[in-house]
Amino acid sequence: MADDCVLCPLRPEELRQRIARILGPDGGEAAAIKDGPNRELSFASFVGTDKNFLCEIAKIPLAARCDCEVLITGETGTGKELCARAVHQLGRRRRLPFVCVDCGALPDPLFENEMFGHERGAFTDARHAQKGLVAIAEGGTLFLDEIDSLSLRAQSKLLRFLEDRTYKPLGAEKFARANVRIVAASNRDLDREVENKAFRRDLFFRINVLRIHMRPLRERSGDIAPLAQYFLRLSCDEMGRTGKVLAPSTLHLLECLDWPGNVRELYNIIRRAVVFSEGRQILAVHIAPAATCDPIAIPNFRKARAEALDAFERRYAKAMLRKHGGNITRAAREAGKDRRAFGRLVKRHNINPFE
């Protein structure tokens, strides 16, 4: 049974309020994620107004109300684990365990033992029986992070488990049945991995029932400033350094960066800036990457603003042209600009309409 529903167009504040209402007074981020880096980031990925991003986030409460497998895709640092935790916390299993499995850290020979456990005497030095991660997650959610890192042999064993939720601990005589929900995540293009025979096609079809894509930060340039302000408030409250603000030139510089580490990279940069900035204002020099942290290399306000505007125009024009298949007339119409003016913009930035 559904607890709530959301309709497009979405409003970020309304979405957050609905999620908070469903979680209840004791089910918010503090209950979902305890102390540590993830506590501060628990709902940070929900900050933003990008339309495509909000459409993906709107899938979370819908996915939470059923027990279908969920595949979360996106680059490193986009908030895939936070998305998985939200799916768990909004579902009927929220009072039961959420177990995160780092598939990239599971050596192939130990996969079965770690996942399914073993009985006493199953192998040398097995003096006691040990539960596997599947048994630890009983009744709750098993989150398979970086599932693409599993070897083909491990993928085969995982597929067998997913087919009927039965498994046999090492050394056991009987199969056990598990009641767990499976949520998987990957920072690779699994469709391409399947085509390259690096990922089993049948396993891909098994986990790719409901799909949520966490967009990279560079595709949400309008959300960089709100996220930076959000992280600034969190960091200042944590460190007792209230009253700090981001200078306009700092925000412009943030919007010009590529953010290969995405939201997590932005979070770490803001935390570092709060620590090292002495005055009330956080300047561009405090957030610049190490390669450009020389104050002499930081442009003045006018230059930084011009560079930021130039980068925005190029990204915007390319996105519009891509959306309309290179048709300048349709792109200009949606952008609300005169066709000739939009054409000059494309020419000035040397953009190939069909790239």
pLDDT at site 15 = 62
Q: Nearest 5°: CA angle at 342, between 340 and 345?
A: 110
pLDDT digit string, tens, across residues 280-330: 899 888 886 543 444 444 556 667 667 777 778 888 888 888 888 888 888
pTM of the model: 0.69
- Fold match, 12-215 / 218-298: no
pLDDT digit string, tens, across residues 143-169: 999 999 999 999 999 999 999 999 988
Which CATH number applies to 12-215? Answer: 3.40.50.300
Give per-residue burial for 49-84: e unless 16+ CB within 10 Å, then b: ebeebbebbbbbbbbbbebebbbbbbbebbbbbbbb
Quick check: 201 pLDDT over 90?
Answer: yes
DSSP string for residues in 51-78: HHHHHHHTHHHHHHTS---EEEE--TTS
pLDDT digit string, tens, across residues 44-80: 457 888 889 999 999 999 999 999 999 999 999 999 9
Angle between helices 262-276 and 224-239 (to 10 degrees): 50
User: What are the extents of the domains in the chain?
Assistant: 12-215, 218-298, 303-348
Length of the chain: 355
Q: Which distant-in-sequence residues (6+ apart) come within 8 Å of 88 by Cβ?
A: 32, 64, 94, 98, 140, 141, 143, 181, 183
Pairwise CA distance, residues 218 & 231, whole Å: 17
- Per cent of the chain over pLDDT 90 is 45
Q: Which amino acid is present at 197? A: K
Taking alpha carbons only, the member of 169, 176, 171 closest to residue 132 is 169
Which CATH number applies to 218-298? Answer: 1.10.8.60
Taking alpha carbons only, the member of 48, 68, 67 closest to residue 58 is 48
